[in-house]
Amino acid sequence: MHTQLRLSSLCVAFLAAGACAQDTLPGPAYDSWLGIYASKYNADSEKTSPSGVYQSGIERGIEYGFRMDNKWGGRFEYSNLKLDYRQSTSQPEDQGQMFGADALYFPGNGDTFFFAGLRRQHLQDHYTLGDVGVGRHWEMADNLRFITEAGMFHDFSNNTNDFRVKAGIAFTFGSRSAAPAVVGDADNDGVNNNLDQCPGTPAGAQVDSRGCELDSDNDGVTNQYDQCPNTPPNTRVDETGCPIQEVGDADNDGVKDDRDQCADTPANDKVDADGCTIFTEKEVSHTIRVPFAHNSSVIQDPDSQDIRNFVKFIKRYGKTSVVIEGHASEPGDDDYNMMLSEKRANAFKELLVSRYGIDESRLQAKGFGETQLLDTSNTLEAHKKNRRIYIKVTETVKRRAKK
């Protein structure tokens, strides 16, 4: 059943190839060719070897072909053939070489051909095959062809039929027999097609001896469209052939004045596509801890350098809100320690307002009692460390990006 289907497909391919061969050039298109190819090789379901039953595989090879006259030619092939096993007792695949020679017939002296010949396969066993098929050399360039081919291989050893589909590239040698050239003037510019280096020039355009439009001032715009003839050499022109007015960059920021939306940006500022300064955000912060004596909410050194540095920071960043956290050590009643921590926070808040002039609306005092101990070792040193207020102020500010 499979063999009959393959034979039917091959006959259809023969008929199609004969139809394609009608539109061809007279005389051999080339004398010989050297090609490389790859194939999908389908083995007959009953093709066997000492290790099992073959299935399908891949073939890669080279070929040399030649034309003896307008219709007849020949070729030789050498390839590496790798076949998978449908069923195997020892290995998944078999690999070897295949040699072949074919006679080729080119109906109508075209690029389509029929072939028939002999093949010899050297796999785990040796097989002799006869082959028939159809192919075509598709022209890609003067000396380059794309190969397509379909063929059937009858294995005389197993009395089976294999099928191959092939594609490759061929480099051709020898010159085509050219048909007599018909000389005309397709674009009606007065220069014949065989001399016209600029086909398709617009109607009415002035052309030179090569059939190309004249550009008297060599500015890249032909005379037909040049609204400013005789522009000086090397002058930049627009599509009408007129000089382009140069646009300056007054603030030297790399953005031309006609696109600069922020003129006079500082010299070292990095700018965006509109010529405006790019700002980056940076987080700044300041932290302070103020210790207290045992059972006291009195600030021991209200003029300390730490406090003055903190005041300087929150005055510089005047939009920040400040949370003053009061804390107590572990000894004592929980409620009493909470009250004491609130007194400490409020004492520092009052200091910032009365002595340093900080706006009270920016300040919030909050007591935490003994709930956030820094040191839980229950020693005198630990109690001293835990009696404190703690403040951290953070602000995100914008700064100019520098080049």
Instruction: Please report, for the domain that includes residue 318, its CATH number.
Output: 3.30.1330.60
Of 173, 199, 220, the last residue of a domain is 173
352 lies in a domain?
Answer: yes
Q: What is d(CA 115, CA 102) in angstroms, rounded to the nearest whole number? A: 6
151: domain range?
Answer: 2-173
Strands lying side by side in the sheet with 388-400: 279-291, 388-400, 322-327, 363-367
Closest C-alpha among 393, 302, 300 to residue 352:
302
Asked if residue 206 belongs to a domain, the reply is: no
Assess if residue 232 is contained within a domain: no
pLDDT tens series, the chain, 403 aa: 444 444 444 444 444 444 443 343 456 788 999 999 999 999 988 888 888 888 899 999 999 999 998 899 999 999 999 988 888 777 888 899 999 999 999 998 788 999 999 999 999 889 999 999 999 999 999 899 999 999 999 999 889 999 999 999 999 998 655 445 557 877 777 778 777 778 777 877 777 777 777 777 777 777 777 778 778 887 787 878 787 777 777 777 777 777 777 777 777 778 788 877 776 776 767 788 888 888 888 888 888 898 898 888 888 777 778 888 888 888 888 888 899 889 888 988 898 899 889 888 888 888 888 888 888 888 888 888 888 888 877 777 666 666 7
Of the candidates 117, 147, 173, which is a domain's last residue?
Answer: 173
* 166 and 300, same domain (yes or no): no
Note whether residue 395 is domain-resident: yes
In DSSP terms, which residues pair with 291 in a beta bridge?
388
Q: Is 227 exposed, middle or buried (0-12, 13-18, 19+ CB in 10 A)?
A: exposed
Q: Are 27 and 33 in contact (CB under 8 A)?
A: no
The beta strand positions in 1-125, using DSSP E, are 32-42, 48-49, 52-67, 72-88, 93-105, 112-122
Domain for residue 39, yes or no?
A: yes
Q: Is residue 164 part of a domain?
A: yes
Residue 215 lies in a domain: no
* The one-letter amino acid at 386: N
Number of domains in the chain: 2
Tokens of 372: 């956030």
CATH of the domain at 153: 2.40.160.20
Q: Which residue has the tokens 């300040």?
A: 363
The residue out of 137, 157, 173 marking a domain boundary is 173
Residue 341, phi then psi, degrees to nearest 5? -65, -35
Residues 24 and 161 both lie in one domain: yes
Q: Give this prediction's pTM.
A: 0.40
> Does 160 share its domain with 299?
no
Within-domain flag for 165: yes
